[in-house]
A and B are shown apart, each in its own frame.
Chain A
């Protein structure tokens, strides 16, 4: 077992345990903090996959913006009675069954695929992933149109969120 594999197993276990805490813990502030732990684990997984830029974006966008937004939303929608109720609804066993079926189905489908045990090819000498990603996002032959559509989507979400949360009184 190589060092990379040991790191993957530790990080993967911590990520999955933190994700389980996110969906089961009652206090929502704690759930949001467990989400931060999960997102850090996913950032390390990106680093193991040689996607350093995405790991940085994960920390900045997900942990720096989205997780903090969740904590703000929890604090804005808190009421005393909400903390005494159950965390899970009465049909939670059906949800657990669905999740297990989805997991088993995914693993079953993946196992029948011939590329399942594939090993990563060596990275070519002088390969610069950030450079490649930047030119792919901005070249007309690449993905400049989806990139611009994403910016329009973010603008629409910004305007929509301000309109929805605006207090008209």
Chain B
């Protein structure tokens, strides 16, 4: 059998890779890709805690489904923002979008 620690270490690694993507990528779409990786790492943790805790309590799986819905909403609004920005400024590089920077 697989101990709980393996899943938690995998999720921690996936989260850290996603964090690196968010902090280091230049393209706004690539930053959103990093956010997706982080949300998936969180979901692995939620499902693992459901399986290794009380299996009759469905809280972990329900929470994972809510995270699915939030991720879908986040991607839809985020990509709409990126497309809108591209239409006005014709760039999606995050450091060139400095209109609010004084």
Q: Contacts A79-B90, A124-B55, A164-B84 hold; do A143 and B62 have CB atoms under 8 A apart?
A: yes
Q: How far is the CA of A119 from the CA of B14 in the complex (A)?
A: 22
B97 within 8 A of A: no
When distances are taken between beta carbons in the complex, the residues of chain B under 8 Å from A127 are 55-56
When distances are taken between beta carbons in the complex, the residues of chain A under 8 Å from B40 are 38-39, 42, 62
Q: Are B25 and A99 in contact (CB under 8 A)?
A: no
When distances are taken between beta carbons in the complex, the residues of chain A under 8 Å from B73 are 153-154, 156-157
Q: How far is the CA of A133 from the CA of B5 in the complex (A)?
A: 25
Per-residue CB proximity of A83-113 to B under 8 Å, as 1/0?
0011111011011101110110011001000
A32 to chain B, nearest CB (A): 7
Main secondary structure of the interface of B (DSSP, over half): helix
Q: How large is the interface on A (under 10, 10 to 19, 20 to 34, 35 or more residues)?
A: 35 or more
B59 to chain A, nearest CB (A): 8
Which listed residue (B61, B70, B81) contacts A54, Cβ 8 A? B61
Closest to B28 in A: A77
When distances are taken between beta carbons in the complex, the residues of chain B under 8 Å from A86 are 26
When distances are taken between beta carbons in the complex, the residues of chain A under 8 Å from B94 are 89
Q: Are B24 and A51 in contact (CB under 8 A)?
A: no
Closest to B17 in A: A19
B16 to chain A, nearest CB (A): 4
Interface centre among B33, B70, B75, B91, by most A CB within 10 Å?
B33
